[in-house]
Amino acid sequence: MNIAIISNNSVYKELFSKSEETEAVLLWDKVKEATIDLAAIFLDGETFPLDDLGKLRELYPDIPIYYKPISIHSDLFTKNISRLCAAHKVKVINEYSTERQTVEHIINEITNKEDYLSKRIIACFGTHSGAGVTTTVLSMARSLSQRVEEKVLVLSLNSWDPADYFYPYTGQYLNDLKVDLKTQNLTPARLSEALCHYESFYHLAGNRDIKMQRFYQPYEIEHLISVAKQLFDVILIDGGTHFDTAPTVQAYLSSNLRFLVTNQEEKGYRGYYPYIFHQLIEPAGGKAEDFLLVVNKYQPANTLISEKALEEELNMTRVATLPDLGDLGTIAAFQKKLLYDMGNEYYMKNVDLLSNLIISECKLVEKEASFHTKKEKKKLFALFK
């Protein structure tokens, strides 16, 4: 297939040219009439003026056109760009996408090519701070890692929460790898040194440098995930709630299986998340169907919103409901134990439902031994076996 690019960035042409699916790649600085049949056109917001969308669509009325906006700091401007592109049947690519992710997204969509490995990256997000994303991710990791043969890693990519206090964490932190990520020199060996091995899974805690909270770049987090994929078969990402930061957006872009964790607090499902969705996720092409709903800390009280009502409120399919453990949760925090290890059968059963879904989607191999009675003992050097 033939691709046209309107951009001053030659990296896009290099990346498109490396793809087996492309034959010719044209790099333009303005709208032109092609002498060959085109399969798609990519527009770089750094170069392409939106006023030319109409002219471009007149020349190419039927082929897919993709537009990546420059970094936008106004939600109103973002919505207007999305509406203008929709009027001309132009698809908007997330502004936080790296060059490589942009090219892969376009090629995969045009060719209907399924990126199988990305299905082994599972990301969890929250409707608001306090929804319980981290406890849910760590419980999922504990459940899944006991059941499957594959190695499981948890990446904490919430810039506001290192998630190092739920068990005796002994590893390094995301900010400790900042130089390696910035220079694109992170190696599998360096990453393995930074990890903590807890029971049956591995974990890299998140950022604990307050000054660095908003200074991670998309390409840095993409590099981290890329290196992690060389070491691990399954990656669970704690994406937090901040969809205006590179770590959270990269967690969203890098994963094909996404969970949204909420609870019965109105400030989350009705107060905070709708603004995030309509101002950040939806304008970039995201949909409610991109997420599966996990209801956390559920209390079946008549005065609180029900599971069904939460599904309708967020327009998502609920896959699990995790009960409010009350004092047991407080004890777990004090004893530095994961909620999954506290022995509440109903909680464990519902976390196992999430593991079942991941095992099915990712085509993982289950262990023969009972995962509740047998704990694997792995050394860090086992990563390189």
- Within 8 A by CB and 6+ apart from 233, the residues are 120, 150, 151, 152, 364
11 lies in the same domain as 63: yes
d(CA 203, CA 167) in angstroms, rounded, equals 11
pTM over 0.95, yes/no: no
Q: State the residue for tokens 């997204």.
A: 105
At 325, the pLDDT band (50, 70, 90 cuts) reads very high
Quick check: 78 pLDDT over 80? Answer: no
Residues 6+ apart with CB under 8 A from 187: 180, 227
Same domain, 80 and 199: no
Residues 74 and 154 in one domain: no
Q: What is the count of structural domains for the chain?
A: 2
pLDDT mean across residues, the chain: 90
Q: Which domain does 56 fall in, by range? A: 2-111
What per-residue confidence (pLDDT) applies to 67? 95
Residues 322 and 240 in one domain: yes
C-alpha span between 176 and 168 (Å, rounded): 18
pLDDT digits (tens, 9 = 90+) for 4-18: 999 999 999 999 999
> Is the domain of 72 the same as that of 148?
no
> Does residue 228 sit in the same domain as residue 90?
no
CATH number assigned to the domain comprising residue 84: 3.40.50.2300
- Kindly state whether residues 103 and 152 are assigned to the same domain: no
Q: Yes or no: say if 153 and 228 are a contact pair by the CB < 8 Å rule.
A: yes
Between 320 and 374, the more confident residue is 320
Identify the pLDDT of residue 286.
87
Q: How many CB atoms lie within 10 A of CB 172?
A: 17
Mean pLDDT of the region 287-295: 94
Least confident window among 16-25, 101-110, 268-277, 370-379: 370-379
Helices H / strands E in the chain, number of each:
14, 13
Query: Do 124 and 201 lie in a common domain?
Result: yes
Closest to 157 in 3D by CA, of 200, 195, 79, 213: 213
Verify that 333 and 312 share a domain, yes or no.
yes
Question: Which CATH number do you get for residue 243?
Answer: 3.40.50.300
Domain boundary among 111, 137, 163: 111
Claim to verify: residue 95 and residue 127 sit in the same structural domain: no
Pick from 145, 122, 116: which is nearest to 366 by CA? Answer: 145
Radius of gyration over alpha carbons of the chain, in Å? 22
Confidence of residue 72 (pLDDT cuts 50, 70, 90): low
Contact indicator for 276, 310 with CB cutoff of 8 Å: no
Asked whether the predicted pLDDT for residue 376 surpasses 70, the reply is no
Q: In terms of domains, do 89 and 154 share one?
A: no
Contacts of 147 (CB under 8 A, 6+ apart): 355, 359, 366, 367, 371
> What is the mean pLDDT of the segment spanning 292-313?
92
Q: Are residues 239 and 138 in the same domain?
A: yes
137-191 pLDDT, tens digit each:
999 999 999 999 999 999 999 999 999 999 999 999 999 999 999 999 999 999 9
Residue 297 confidence (pLDDT) above 60: yes
* Domain C-terminal end among 87, 111, 135: 111
Last residue of a domain, one of 86, 111, 136: 111
